[in-house]
Amino acid sequence: QAQVESVRLLSMGPFPEGHTMETPNMVSGTWECGGTGTALSIDPDPSADTAAVGQWDYDRNASVPQRVGLPTTLQCCTSRRALDPIPTTSDRPIWETSNLTWWDFQRRRWSTLWLMRTIYYRYKQCEIDAEAVPPGPQQDELWFEFNTLTGKEMREHAEQVKGLFIKAGQTMSTMVGVLPEVITQELMSLTDHLPVSTAEEVFRTIRKDLNSSPRDIFSTFDLEPVASASVAQVHRARLRSTGQVVAVKVQHEGVDKLLLEDCSTLSMVAGQVAYWAPDLDFRAVVEEASQWLPVELDFREERRALQRAGSVLRKAGNPCIVPRVHQRLFGPHVFVMEFIDAVPIVKLAEEGFCKQHGLDKLEIMKSLIDAFGIMAFKDGLFHGDPHAGNIRLLLDRDAPGGARPVIFDWGLFKEFADDERLGSAKVFYSLGNFDVAGVFDALTLLGFTFRPEILTDEFRRELMERARSVMKDTVNKETVRQNVHIDLQEHKERVKKALAQGKTVQASYSPLWFLEGLPNCILAFMRMLGILRGLCVCADAQGLPVLQIFVQHAREALQEGSLQPDLVSTLSLYCGREAAIAKLTEARCARSERAVHVQEAADIELSARIQGKLQALLQAKKIVGAQVAVVEGGRLVCDLVAGTLSTIDARLVQKGTRFPLLGATGGVAALALLHSLRRLAGTDGNPLGVRCVTDVLHIPISRVWPEFGGGGSALKLRDLLSHTAGLQDAFPMGFSAGHLDDVDAMASHLEQVGLKSVCEPRYAYLLQAFALAKLGDCIAGQDSLLHWLGAELGPLGLDIAGPCGCGDEASVCRDLLALARVSMTEIEAGRERRQVQRDEATLLRSSEDGPMTSSLLAAFGRDPLGFDPLQANTRHGGLFRGGMSLGVSARSLAALLANPALNEELSMLHALEPNGVDSTALGWFLTGGANHWTAGGLQSLQLRRCGAGAYFSGDTQAGHGIICGLGPCVVHFPNLGEGGLTVAVMVNDVLHGRAAASDLLSEALAGFGYKPAWASMPVRIMADAAWMARGSELEPLVKSMGGLQALRATVDLWTRTTSSDGAPPVSSSCGGCAAWALASAPSATEARTNLFSRALHVVGRWCATGCSRACSAGRSRHPRQW
What is residue 29's predicted lDDT score, i.e. its pLDDT? 42
Q: Are 604 and 611 in contact (CB under 8 A)?
A: no
What is residue 877's predicted lDDT score, i.e. its pLDDT? 55
Cα torsion angle, 781, 784, 790, 793, sign: positive
Q: Find the mean pLDDT for residues 11-26.
A: 39
- Looking at per-residue pLDDT, the higher value among 57 and 724 belongs to 724
Three-state secondary-structure class, residue 935: coil
**Structure confidence by residue, pLDDT tens digits, 865-901:** 888 888 888 776 556 788 888 999 999 999 999 999 9
Question: Cα separation of 1060 and 620, whole Å?
Answer: 8
Question: Cα separation of 567 and 570, whole Å?
Answer: 5
Amino acid identity of residue 621, one-letter, is: K
- Enumerate residues 6+ apart whose C-beta is below 8 A from 41: 4, 30, 31, 77, 80
- Enumerate residues 6+ apart whose C-beta is below 8 A from 835: none
Cα torsion angle, 1075, 1081, 1082, 1086, sign: negative
Question: Cα separation of 562 and 276, whole Å?
Answer: 47
- Count of residues making up the chain: 1122
- What do you get for the CA distance between the two ends of the chain, in Å? 114
Question: Cα separation of 1034 and 853, whole Å?
Answer: 16
Question: Cα separation of 881 and 891, whole Å?
Answer: 24
Q: Choose the weakest-confidence range: 206-215, 354-363, 437-446, 509-518.
A: 509-518
What is residue 1078's predicted lDDT score, i.e. its pLDDT? 38
Q: Are 522 and 449 in contact (CB under 8 A)?
A: no
Buried b (16+ CB within 10 A) or exposed e, 928-943: bbbbbbbbbbbbbbeb
Q: Are 721 and 850 in contact (CB under 8 A)?
A: no
**Structure confidence by residue, pLDDT tens digits, 83-101:** 333 344 455 667 666 677 7
Question: Cα separation of 742 and 882, whole Å?
Answer: 9
User: Above 70 in pLDDT, residue 1007?
Assistant: yes
Three-state secondary-structure class, residue 1022: helix
Three-state secondary-structure class, residue 1012: strand
User: Above 50 in pLDDT, residue 702?
Assistant: yes
User: Above 90 in pLDDT, residue 55?
Assistant: no
Q: How many CB atoms lie within 10 A of CB 736?
A: 18
Amino acid identity of residue 1119, one-letter, is: P
Most confident of 591-605, 759-773, 950-964, 1080-1094: 759-773
Q: Choose the weakest-confidence range: 343-352, 358-367, 637-646, 832-841.
A: 832-841
As a whole-number percent, the residues of the chain with pLDDT over 70 amount to 73
Amino acid identity of residue 375, one-letter, is: M
DSSP state of 909: T
Q: Find the mean pLDDT for residues 682-698.
A: 78
What DSSP letter does each residue of 96-125 carry, written as one string? --TT--HHHHHHHHHHHHHHHHHHHHHHHH
Of the candidates 743, 747, 757, the one whose C-alpha atom is nearest the C-alpha of residue 700 is: 757
What is residue 647's predicted lDDT score, i.e. its pLDDT? 92
- Spacing of C-alpha 801 from chain mean position: 28
- Looking at per-residue pLDDT, the higher value among 660 and 77 belongs to 660
Of the candidates 788, 791, 779, the one whose C-alpha atom is nearest the C-alpha of residue 699 is: 779
- Enumerate residues 6+ apart whose C-beta is below 8 A from 180: 143, 147, 151
Question: Cα separation of 431 and 443, whole Å?
Answer: 11
Q: Find the mean pLDDT for residues 1088-1110.
A: 45
What is residue 1074's predicted lDDT score, i.e. its pLDDT? 39
Question: Cα separation of 64 and 287, whole Å?
Answer: 55
Question: Cα separation of 363 and 343, whole Å?
Answer: 17
pLDDT band at 910 (very low <50, low <70, confident <90, very high): very high
Q: Are 73 and 140 in contact (CB under 8 A)?
A: no
Q: How many CB atoms lie within 10 A of CB 977?
A: 18
Of the candidates 172, 266, 1044, 974, the one whose C-alpha atom is nearest the C-alpha of residue 634 is: 974
Q: Are 798 and 888 in contact (CB under 8 A)?
A: yes
Strand 599-600, strand 635-646: pairing: parallel
As a whole-number percent, the residues of the chain with pLDDT over 90 amount to 32
Mapped to the 3 state alphabet, what secondary structure does 590-633 carry? Answer: HHHHHHCCCEECCCHHHHHHHHHHHHHHHHCCCCCEEEEEEEEC
What is residue 285's predicted lDDT score, i.e. its pLDDT? 66
Q: Choose the weakest-confidence range: 406-420, 550-564, 681-695.
A: 681-695
Q: Find the mean pLDDT for residues 833-850.
A: 61
Q: How many CB atoms lie within 10 A of CB 638?
A: 28
Q: Choose the weakest-confidence range: 256-260, 488-492, 1002-1006.
A: 488-492
What DSSP letter does each residue of 148-198 carry, written as one string? HHHHHHHHHHHHHH-THHHHHHHHHHT-BTTB-HHHHHHHGGGGT---B--
> How far is residue 513 from each of residues 175, 407, 427, measured CA to CA in Å?
21, 33, 19
- Enumerate residues 6+ apart whose C-beta is below 8 A from 633: 977, 978, 979, 980
Of the candidates 509, 377, 523, 505, the one whose C-alpha atom is nearest the C-alpha of residue 448 is: 523
Of the candidates 1111, 923, 879, the one whose C-alpha atom is nearest the C-alpha of residue 1018 is: 923
Q: Are 259 and 236 in contact (CB under 8 A)?
A: no
pLDDT band at 1047 (very low <50, low <70, confident <90, very high): very low
List the Cα angle 456/457/463 in 5-degree steps: 90
Question: Cα separation of 1020 and 405, whole Å?
Answer: 58
Q: Are 798 and 893 in contact (CB under 8 A)?
A: yes
What is residue 907's predicted lDDT score, i.e. its pLDDT? 92
Alpha helices in 188-254 (DSSP H): 199-210, 214-217
What is the side-by-side strand order in the sheet with 66-67? 20-21, 56-57, 66-67
pLDDT band at 412 (very low <50, low <70, confident <90, very high): confident
Q: Are 775 and 673 in contact (CB under 8 A)?
A: yes
781, with CB counted inside 10 A (0-12, 13-18, 19+), is exposed
574, with CB counted inside 10 A (0-12, 13-18, 19+), is buried
Question: Cα separation of 1061 and 1080, whole Å?
Answer: 12
- Looking at per-residue pLDDT, the higher value among 210 and 69 belongs to 210
Q: Find the mean pLDDT for residues 132-157.
A: 87
**Structure confidence by residue, pLDDT tens digits, 217-252:** 999 999 999 988 888 899 999 999 999 999 999 998
Of the candidates 257, 299, 93, the one whose C-alpha atom is nearest the C-alpha of residue 189 is: 93
Alpha helices in 663-784 (DSSP H): 665-681, 701-704, 717-721, 743-752, 767-780
Question: Cα separation of 931 and 429, whole Å?
Answer: 35
> How far is residue 67 from each of residues 4, 52, 53, 73, 961, measured CA to CA in Å?
12, 11, 9, 6, 106
User: Above 90 in pLDDT, residue 261?
Assistant: no
